[in-house]
Amino acid sequence: MLAHERSSDRWGLDELYPFASGVLLALSLPPFHLSFLALVALVPLFLYLDQPVTVKRIVRAGVITAVVYFGINLNWLIVVGRFSWLIYPGYATILFIYTCNFFVFVLTVVIAKVYLSIDFLYTAPFAWVISERLRAYGDMAFPWSTFGYSLTSFPFFLQFADLVGVYGVSFVLVLLNVLLFHSLKDRRYAVAWLLIVAALNAYNTFRWFRGIGTQLGSIEVAAIQPNVPQRLKWNSAYSMQIVKNLFAMQATALKTAPRLVVWPETAIPYYIDERRPFHLSEMGTLPFNNSYILTGLLNVGYSADGLAHFYNAATLFDPRGEPLGSYKKIYLVPGSEEFPFRRFIGFTRTFFSIQRITYGAMESGKEATVFTLPDAKFSVLICYESVYPQLTRAFRLRGAQFLVNITNDAWFGRSFAPYQHAAFLVMRAIENRMAVARSANTGISGFVDPMGRWHQRTNLFTEAIISDRIPLTRTLSFYTRYGDLIVYISYAAMALIVMKALWKRWRSE
């Protein structure tokens, strides 16, 4: 049972343990290249929770660790606040939700240990995975700070993600932290730690030097980074100049004879009415060529009652500028694109706006689109969708042979966010063994191969045109075939713990 409150249960040096874990967790993730910290980040927290616990101690463990961890990792939200005051309460709300979510982990490991005498080793990895996965559900879904991304700076050590996915990587990292914690008292756990690390790196080495195996060929893809400042992007006085520059960069990109040229998210600064066909040649002159164009744009559709519906979309055009198909963004950013709990408080939407766009005005797409070129098939992740592994997996299962990510990271300035956002693609590439081409308005643009390595990665806030020949693959990895098995296993483990607790209570009555 929980220990009685004591006079010594006051703030003291012990609280440095959860604080240290929060700092180490944050530093293990991008943009810091300190992946090795992921192997020790949770050890101080386990040392803190291994002491006789009280309610106050549990609360402190969760609040201190979470506020420090997520407060640092998500501090870039404050930078976005220069565009709208709504970001500040949004940051506080997300930090509050993340902190509450963290108690799924803390309460599980503490209650299981105190009440059921179940060691951290058998609860912590499962509870961690569940807490992370829960952040991807509901109207406030925002699964940004997932522990598994801590290894994306060194893709060699991440090759096993094609078996377990990002949540499986988190599971393994937490397991290694628990073993390291126990090895401070018993060296036998150090042997288990070494065996697991050796097995993982044996597989990593095998995958790294074996490569991706059979390819379907390759395709030349160019990506345009126009570097339009966010303060000008939706300013009508600059719209024509923005479009003129895009067409000039398109002409330059054609020098490498790419099959596909990618423009970034909402590259065209106009709302496109779905009631009539839109031809890209309306915006400018396309020289004779064999290159297809994919661009981000905003679509406006109208329902029977005359209400406008806005979509963040990507449209593929043939070399003459004829539209071939569109993809509408499925996972919208809560708070800016999608109005949370619209069914209940949607009437308040008109009171808010961000750069002349009604707050939460976007509608979600429904179709996981696969675009077809003469010699390849691909799908598009728009901006924040790169954080959802299940969407990339759905594209792969539908036949996509490579991925395109378009984004406008101008909102983020020179904060942590552009680096974190780009890092997600390393995981998506390895999980599904498919290449990714990325076009970002202000950076970071580049190409990620199926091993998770970046090629021609651009700097922030520079105008750039890059091109690369990327491989086409169709082999389905274990993760692509079976998905997030570790999540379901974790739910099952949690159910067993709950059942054991209920059984113990029933026997004691």
What mean pLDDT, rounded, does the chain reach?
91
Render the burial of 288-303: b for 16+ CB within 10 Å, e for the rest: ebebbbbbbbbbeeee
Whether pLDDT at 147 is above 70 = yes
80-94, 367-381, 409-423: least confident range = 80-94
The residue among 342, 341, 421, 426 whose CA lies nearest residue 384 is: 421
Q: Which residues contact 218 (CB under 8 A, 6 or more apart)?
A: 469, 470, 471, 472
Whether pLDDT at 486 is above 50 = yes
DSSP β-bridge partners for residue 376: 373
31 preceded by a cis bond (ω within 30 of 0): yes
314 SS3 class: strand
The residue among 21, 37, 19 whose CA lies nearest residue 150 is: 37
Model confidence pLDDT, tens digit, residues 164-174: 999 999 999 99
Whether pLDDT at 374 is above 70 = yes
Q: Which residues contact 75 (CB under 8 A, 6 or more apart)?
A: 415, 416
pLDDT of residue 22: 98
Report the run of H or E that residue 454 belongs to, with start and end: strand 454-455
The residue among 409, 484, 413, 473 whose CA lies nearest residue 439 is: 409
Stated pTM of the model: 0.93
Place of tokens 């790294």: 208
390, 298 in Cβ contact below 8 A? Answer: no
Report residue 1's pLDDT band, with 50, 70 and 90 as the boundaries. low
Question: Residue 262 gets which letter from DSSP?
Answer: E
Q: Which parts of 185-330 are beta strand (E)? A: 217-225, 260-262, 271-273, 292-302, 308-317, 323-328
Report residue 305's pLDDT band, with 50, 70 and 90 as the boundaries. confident
DSSP per-residue string spanning 318-370: -TTS-EEEEEE-SSPPBTTTB-TTHHHHGGGGGG-EETTEETTBB--------
How many whole angstroms separate alpha carbon 387 and alpha carbon 366? 18
Q: What are phi and psi of 275, to 5 degrees?
A: -75, -10
Q: Ramachandran region of residue 378, left (φ > 0), alpha (ψ -120 to 50) or beta?
A: beta
Q: What angle do CA 81, 95, 298 make, to 5 degrees?
A: 50
Whether pLDDT at 354 is above 50 = no
Whether pLDDT at 82 is above 80 = no
pLDDT of residue 343: 63
477, 431 in Cβ contact below 8 A? Answer: yes
pLDDT of residue 356: 47
Report residue 80's pLDDT band, with 50, 70 and 90 as the boundaries. confident
Place of tokens 């195996």: 213
Model confidence pLDDT, tens digit, residues 15-45: 999 999 999 999 999 999 999 999 999 999 9
The CB density around residue 55, as the number of other CB atoms within 10 Å, is 11
Instruction: Specify the CATH architecture of the domain 217-330+365-474.
Output: 4-Layer Sandwich (3.60)
Length of the chain: 509
The residue among 121, 117, 100, 130 whose CA lies nearest residue 174 is: 121
pLDDT of residue 259: 97
- At position 489, the amino acid (one-letter code) is I
Question: Residue 307 gets which letter from DSSP?
Answer: -
How many whole angstroms separate alpha carbon 195 and alpha carbon 197? 6
How many whole angstroms separate alpha carbon 359 and alpha carbon 307? 16
How many whole angstroms separate alpha carbon 95 and alpha carbon 83? 20
How many whole angstroms separate alpha carbon 122 and alpha carbon 109? 9
How many whole angstroms separate alpha carbon 403 and alpha carbon 434? 7
How many whole angstroms separate alpha carbon 193 and alpha carbon 181? 10
How many whole angstroms separate alpha carbon 64 and alpha carbon 16? 9
pLDDT of residue 341: 64
